Amino acid sequence: MKQDSDATTVPACFISNHEGFLGSIKNFIKDFVVTEIDTSGQRVNTSTHTPDSASSDENNETGAECKWNNHSSQDNDVAADCGLDVTIPSPGSFDLSVILGQSVSEELEQFVLTLKEKPTKQELSLGSFTDKHHRANVHRAVRHRFPFLMTVTIQPEIRVREDPDYRELSQLVTEDEAEDFFRFIDAKVRGSSYTFGPDDDKDHRTVVHHFLSRRFGKLVETKSFTDQGTTAISVRLREQGRPKKRSAEERKEEEVYTGFTLRKENLETLEAISYMAASLGVLPSDFTYAGIKDKRAITFQSMVVKKVSTQRLKEKTAEFERRGMCVTQIRSVSEPLRLGRLQGNHFDLVVRDLRPHGDTHSSAADTHTRLAALVKEAVENVKARGFVNYYGPQRFGSVKSVQSDRVGLALLKEDMVSAVRLFFTPEDLSDPVNNAKRHFIQTDNAKESLALMPLSKARERLMLRAMNRYGTGPDGCTQGWLSLPHSMRVFYPHAYCSRVWNEAVAHRLSTLGHRARRGDLVWLQEDSAESSLPQIHVVTDQEEQEEVYTLGHVLMPMPGNTVKYPENAMGAWYQERLSRDGLDGCRFRVSNLKLNLPGCHRPLLASPRNLSYQLQRAGCGEVGEEESTGNSSRNSDRQLNGTTAEGKLTLTLNFDLDSSCYATICLREIMKCDP
């Protein structure tokens, strides 16, 4: 990567000094295509793609070919750098209308209403299910939605009836407690526990103990404990509590992993997962992937789902396609995917309505000729020098009222109440989600806000439900955060650390310039080929003078408890910046939420690979083309000068980026503006 000799004339957010141009992106969904590149360097949408995890040749199946064009809209490749676990929402409820069909789901709802009004021993048939994994998913979904129902298989038919144990328990404790207890029993998470609400009546506790021992003694053990003057019953799942037959079936089911390639259009990754999970009757956490892709784009990525057979997944492909998803390359695999297990992403982007910066009174032909030169210069500069590796705006959330980094700062300061109120701060809109948030902020009433919150907002509903039970004080808000999966909780502190990283880089470039300086951090360059983890090295004064390292080698720390900070003015800057936010001596651990942020060392610069571009007039043929930033300017000049050039220019860009690098940031360097 070239050293920039004209650094003093370049704004801090840019690395090179070309003029750039204006234009618009994301005009159409096809204008932004993101394709994941796996660890072997293959794009996951190619027919020769081979999964990283071992697959079964016998069961290597490919779903129906997508009937869509391979085109796109916004980037957001929030891959898993710095150990970031990307959020997967837990289900607020299963969509039984998807799993069972609308008519059966409505019949089940009516059956439940009848049971509520008058207990009965009648049964309801949900239909026949030939696939055993499908049957298991139906059992799980129905019991999760209606814990007071018992599901019975008379192969291949599934029937439901009222669970008499639930009826008896609900007469001893509240209905909410009875539902939560049966969900706890059904989940059978080894070593887990459930605590009923405070109960200071010893005789009543004895009755509850006896009931639990009589009906669930093989599964659980119970005890009463006193905390801060109140007594409650705690139930713990026995280590060997599962019946042998069920345990064997569940273990076998757990071993089923199905890999596939997901093509989605105008959908968030997590939104797509939530729908697929509801349709298949599994949890969103049963899906694993290497990185999140943006909503406003056409994206291709690898996924693995457990507890779902290849045949079962293939049966759902037509239904998924109606929701903007296409599932292909369906195959049996041996293990789930891991976050960050990708080489990067390939981007196919379209920038429309190109025009020079500033007003121009030139003729269309002159303007096009000038734009062709501007584009060529910009692409060559970025290919040679790269771009500043900022985190993109997607890292900080799309809500305008409160950025995710502010929520993260409150969590790092262990101010749980403020973090919750920031999380629920509404936008200035009147849709159901913001109305529910607004009601919570104004009333502090979690129960009423939960009733208003749409079922699709899983994380909001989880937090409101927890606070409805535990209150909206510090302890209740802590329980609200703990109700979210770890990967979701850690997103917010990571957003704060990413914000600090962006500010640090801007300050570093504006004060220390575009050269490697004494005290900067770089990876240690070693001649030894022995396999070992790379070591952080501090640039010496002599190395600065001899220009041993360039800006492309410099690393900037993302705050955490294991990172080393620069040994120059930037070290003091980090200390002052964290102190300004009240994080003096912060350990970057939030014990109450089981969060630990080690931090990482992120390269200051990033560089696109395999960069090529093409200029066209809107609605016309090519103006200029370049495979590797070579000699397209002569072609552009010849074609522009030989025509009337009345149409506006469109730029198509194709390039690869490493994981956790943002295409919109690369575009900003090319265009010298926010695209």
Instruction: Tell which residue, 490, 510, 458, has the closest CA to residue 594.
Output: 490
Task: Transcribe 35-87 into DSSP letters.
Answer: EEE-TTS-BTTSTT---SS-B-STT----PPP-S-S-B-----EE--TTPPPP
Q: Are 657 and 386 in contact (CB under 8 A)?
A: no
Q: Establish how many alpha carbons lie within 13 A of residue 184's alpha carbon, considering only the half-sphere containing its beta carbon.
A: 21
Phi/psi of residue 555, nearest 5 degrees = -110, 145
First-residue to last-residue Cα distance in the chain: 24
Residue found by looking up tokens 């607020």 in the block? 92
Structure tokens at 104: 């059966």
DSSP 417: H
Biggest alpha carbon–alpha carbon distance for the chain:
97
Q: Does the annotation mark 294 as catalytic?
A: yes
Q: Establish how many alpha carbons lie within 13 A of residue 617's alpha carbon, considering only the half-sphere containing its beta carbon.
A: 17
Instruction: Tell which residue, 450, 463, 454, 457, has the closest CA to residue 417.
Output: 463
The active-site residue, picked from 81, 286, 294, 658, is: 294
DSSP-derived pairing of the beta strands 649-658 and 609-617 = antiparallel
DSSP-derived pairing of the beta strands 344-355 and 124-128 = unpaired
Q: Are 309 and 315 in contact (CB under 8 A)?
A: no
Residue 328 and residue 386: Cα distance in Å, rounded?
34
Instruction: Tell which residue, 135, 169, 163, 139, has the closest CA to residue 150.
Output: 163
DSSP 643: S
Give me the residues paired with residue 107 across strands. none
Question: Cα 645–637–30 angle (5° rounding)?
Answer: 60
Instruction: Tell which residue, 350, 218, 228, has the closest CA to residue 648.
Output: 350
Under DSSP, is residue 593 helix (H, G, I), strand (E, B) or coil?
A: helix
Distances (CA, A) of 162 to 168, 216, 533: 11, 17, 58
Phi/psi of residue 326, nearest 5 degrees = -130, 125
CA-atom Rg of the chain in angstroms: 29
Residue 402 and residue 425: Cα distance in Å, rounded?
7
Type of residue at 579 = S
Peptide bond into 485 cis (omega under 30): no
Instruction: Tell which residue, 672, 558, 574, has the closest CA to residue 13.
Output: 672
CB neighbours of 433 closer than 8 A, spacing ≥ 6? 426, 453, 454, 457, 460
List the catalytic residues.
Answer: 294
